[in-house]
Amino acid sequence: DAGVTQSPTHLIKTRGQQVTLRCSPISGHKSVSWYQQVLGQGPQFIFQYYEKEERGRGNFPDRFSARQFPNYSSELNVNALLLGDSALYLCASSRSGTSGEQFFGPGTRLTVL
Protein backbone atom coordinates (compact mmCIF):
# COMPACT_ATOMS: atom_id res chain seq x y z
CA ASP A 1 0.00 0.00 0.00
CA ALA A 2 1.16 3.53 -0.74
CA GLY A 3 2.12 5.62 2.24
CA VAL A 4 1.31 9.25 2.89
CA THR A 5 2.35 11.38 -0.06
CA GLN A 6 3.06 15.12 -0.07
CA SER A 7 3.69 17.59 -2.83
CA PRO A 8 5.79 19.43 -3.68
CA THR A 9 8.92 18.11 -1.97
CA HIS A 10 10.66 21.46 -2.03
CA LEU A 11 9.40 25.00 -2.49
CA ILE A 12 11.04 28.40 -2.52
CA LYS A 13 8.92 31.52 -2.04
CA THR A 14 9.50 35.15 -1.19
CA ARG A 15 8.06 37.10 1.71
CA GLY A 16 4.44 38.08 1.25
CA GLN A 17 3.62 35.30 -1.18
CA GLN A 18 1.10 32.55 -0.65
CA VAL A 19 1.73 28.80 -0.74
CA THR A 20 -0.41 25.67 -0.97
CA LEU A 21 0.88 22.31 0.19
CA ARG A 22 -0.87 19.04 -0.61
CA CYS A 23 -1.21 15.73 1.17
CA SER A 24 -2.76 12.38 0.27
CA PRO A 25 -3.37 10.03 3.21
CA ILE A 26 -2.99 6.28 3.34
CA SER A 27 -5.98 4.54 1.77
CA GLY A 28 -8.66 4.02 4.41
CA HIS A 29 -7.39 6.78 6.68
CA LYS A 30 -9.92 9.51 7.35
CA SER A 31 -7.87 11.86 9.50
CA VAL A 32 -5.09 14.18 8.36
CA SER A 33 -2.89 16.32 10.57
CA TRP A 34 -0.39 19.01 9.63
CA TYR A 35 2.79 19.84 11.51
CA GLN A 36 5.51 22.45 11.16
CA GLN A 37 9.05 21.39 11.98
CA VAL A 38 11.63 24.12 12.22
CA LEU A 39 15.23 22.97 11.85
CA GLY A 40 16.52 21.48 15.10
CA GLN A 41 13.14 21.30 16.80
CA GLY A 42 10.31 18.85 17.24
CA PRO A 43 7.15 19.11 15.15
CA GLN A 44 4.51 21.66 16.13
CA PHE A 45 0.86 20.80 15.57
CA ILE A 46 -0.99 23.07 13.12
CA PHE A 47 -4.28 21.38 12.19
CA GLN A 48 -6.16 18.11 12.32
CA TYR A 49 -9.05 17.24 10.04
CA TYR A 50 -11.38 14.26 10.28
CA GLU A 51 -14.15 13.54 7.82
CA LYS A 52 -13.64 17.01 6.31
CA GLU A 53 -14.22 18.76 9.63
CA GLU A 54 -11.56 20.62 11.58
CA ARG A 55 -10.96 18.68 14.77
CA GLY A 56 -8.10 20.66 16.22
CA ARG A 57 -5.97 23.71 15.66
CA GLY A 58 -2.59 24.58 17.11
CA ASN A 59 -1.24 27.96 18.10
CA PHE A 60 -0.69 29.35 14.62
CA PRO A 61 -1.89 32.66 13.14
CA ASP A 62 -4.87 32.96 10.84
CA ARG A 63 -2.49 33.14 7.89
CA PHE A 64 -2.51 29.35 8.14
CA SER A 65 -5.59 27.54 6.87
CA ALA A 66 -6.38 24.06 5.70
CA ARG A 67 -9.14 21.92 4.31
CA GLN A 68 -9.90 18.29 3.67
CA PHE A 69 -11.58 17.00 0.56
CA PRO A 70 -14.17 14.21 0.13
CA ASN A 71 -11.39 11.79 -0.86
CA TYR A 72 -9.67 12.69 2.47
CA SER A 73 -6.74 14.45 0.83
CA SER A 74 -5.85 17.78 2.32
CA GLU A 75 -4.32 21.15 1.53
CA LEU A 76 -2.48 23.53 3.82
CA ASN A 77 -2.43 27.17 2.79
CA VAL A 78 -0.16 29.83 4.19
CA ASN A 79 -0.72 33.47 3.23
CA ALA A 80 1.57 36.48 3.55
CA LEU A 81 4.65 34.34 4.05
CA LEU A 82 7.25 35.41 6.59
CA LEU A 83 10.88 34.36 6.82
CA GLY A 84 9.96 32.45 9.98
CA ASP A 85 7.61 30.20 8.03
CA SER A 86 10.63 28.45 6.54
CA ALA A 87 10.35 24.88 7.79
CA LEU A 88 9.58 21.28 6.96
CA TYR A 89 5.81 20.83 6.76
CA LEU A 90 4.73 17.34 7.63
CA CYS A 91 1.43 15.68 6.93
CA ALA A 92 0.29 12.65 8.90
CA SER A 93 -2.71 10.39 8.47
CA SER A 94 -4.54 8.06 10.80
CA ARG A 95 -7.67 5.94 10.64
CA SER A 96 -9.68 7.91 13.14
CA GLY A 97 -7.33 10.31 14.88
CA THR A 98 -8.35 9.10 18.33
CA SER A 99 -5.49 6.74 19.18
CA GLY A 100 -2.68 9.14 18.40
CA GLU A 101 -0.86 6.76 16.05
CA GLN A 102 -0.11 8.70 12.93
CA PHE A 103 1.77 7.87 9.78
CA PHE A 104 3.91 10.61 8.29
CA GLY A 105 4.70 11.69 4.79
CA PRO A 106 8.19 12.79 3.71
CA GLY A 107 7.33 16.45 4.16
CA THR A 108 7.53 19.60 2.08
CA ARG A 109 10.58 21.77 2.66
CA LEU A 110 9.49 25.42 2.39
CA THR A 111 12.11 28.14 2.13
CA VAL A 112 11.00 31.76 2.36
CA LEU A 113 13.48 34.33 1.07
Partner 1 sequence: AQSVTQLGSHVSVSEGALVLLRCNYSSSVPPYLFWYVQYPNQGLQLLLKYTSAATLVKGINGFEAEFKKSETSFHLTKPSAHMSDAAEYFCAVSDRESNYQLIWGAGTKLIIKP
Cα separation, 109 vs 26, whole angstroms: 21
Indicate whether 90 belongs to the interface with partner 1 (CB under 8 A): yes
Chosen residue from 2, 41, 59, 62 binding partner 1 by CB under 8 A: 41
Nearest to 36 by CA among 93, 89, 110, 91: 89
Q: What is the DSSP string of 71-100?
A: TS-EEEEE-S--GGG-EEEEEEEESSSSS-
Indicate whether 25 belongs to the interface with partner 1 (CB under 8 A): no
Find the part of the chain contacting partner 1 (CB under 8 A) among 13-21, 68-76, 78-86, 104-112. 104-112
Rank residues 84 and 100 by Cβ distance to partner 1 and give the closer one: 100
Chosen residue from 22, 30, 55, 67 binding partner 1 by CB under 8 A: 55
Cα separation, 2 vs 22, whole angstroms: 16
Indicate whether 24 belongs to the interface with partner 1 (CB under 8 A): no
What is the distance, to the nearest Å, from the Cα of residue 13 to the centroid of all Cα atoms in its chain? 17
**Radius of gyration of the CA atoms of the chain, in A:** 13
Indicate whether 64 belongs to the interface with partner 1 (CB under 8 A): no
Chain contacts with partner 1 (rule: CB under 8 A):
4, 33, 41-45, 48, 55-56, 58, 90, 92, 97-107, 109
